[in-house]
Amino acid sequence: MIEVGMFAHVKCSRYVDYGLQKGDVVYIAGDMMVRTEEKDPYAHRKLFVAARTENGVVDANGKGLSIDGANLKPVSKSQQKKLYAAFEEANKPEEVADE
């Protein structure tokens, strides 16, 4: 199951025009519900906001993409830990030297 804060593989080639290939790893930065039918107020599906990554480093300057969860597959638990460690290292606040 895909959740916000995890890394996932793109399962299809639908997003090639947006710079993502099948098998690329993305960071799931958010989610949203969207209507699937104009006339049915209860027909919704969940989309995820995904950010491109490279070796666990999220492209913070890039635009997020909305991707249907059916087109995402979670990375393995061991890879999730490895990517998240790289993510934390890349986003660690810089230490300020005392004067």
pLDDT in tens, 44-87: 889 999 999 887 788 877 788 999 999 999 999 999 999 988 88
At a CB cut-off of 8 Å and minimum separation 6, what does 37 contact? 43
Q: What is the pLDDT of residue 63?
A: 83
Gap between the Cα atoms of 64 and 66, Å rounded:
7
pLDDT in tens, 25-40: 999 999 999 888 888 8
**pTM for this prediction:** 0.82
Structure tokens at 33: 């519900």
Give the mean pLDDT of the chain: 88
